[in-house]
């Protein structure tokens, strides 16, 4: 029998987790904006470091430029949409982890900004509340 991720119940939780929405602008590492493989390497690093469980990956390369990547996680999802003509990435991470604060998401954001050589702004991070 394979090890399976235990089913998590949220009976004692007031929140279903944190959600981060990022507008990553003025990206200097322009080659990443069209590189599915390099972007997936960045996302894989995030998932490995945070111990997110990847259930499925899907991606699409647009022509002449741009791409979309979606990681379905047992914790929820990560999505990334690139707009090379604007040196811009829209990124969304939502997990059902019970983080005490948003420090982890700020670390993820810092890693993304450094990897993409982008302008540092403030990501939108909010708690998804049940009530």
Res 1: pLDDT:
44
Q: Which of 96, 100, 115, 131 is catalytic?
A: 96
Catalytic site includes residue 81: yes
Catalytic site includes residue 131: no
Q: In angstroms, what CA-CA distances link 119 with 42, 68, 110, 116? A: 17, 21, 10, 9
Report pLDDT digits (tens) over 14-45: 667 889 999 999 999 999 999 999 999 999 99
Res 103: pLDDT:
94
Report pLDDT digits (tens) over 80-128: 999 999 999 999 999 988 788 889 999 999 999 999 999 999 999 988 7
pTM above the 0.75 mark? yes
**Which domains does the chain show, CATH number per domain?**
28-93+102-129 (3.60.90.10)
* For residue 7, pLDDT beyond 90: no
């Amino acid at each position: 029998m394979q090890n399976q991720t235990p089913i998590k119940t949220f009976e004692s939780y007031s929140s279903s987790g944190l959600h981060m929405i990022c507008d990553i602008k003025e990206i200097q590492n322009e080659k990443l904006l069209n590189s599915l493989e390099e972007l997936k390497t960045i996302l894989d690093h995030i998932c490995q470091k945070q111990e997110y469980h990847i259930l499925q990956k899907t991606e699409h390369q647009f022509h002449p430029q741009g791409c979309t990547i979606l990681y379905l996680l047992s914790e929820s999802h990560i999505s990334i949409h690139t707009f090379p003509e604007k040196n811009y990435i829209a990124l969304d991470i939502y997990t059902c982890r019970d983080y005490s604060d948003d420090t982890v998401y700020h670390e993820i954001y810092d890693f993304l900004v450094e990897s993409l050589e982008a302008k540092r702004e403030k990501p939108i991070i909010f708690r998804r509340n049940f009530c």
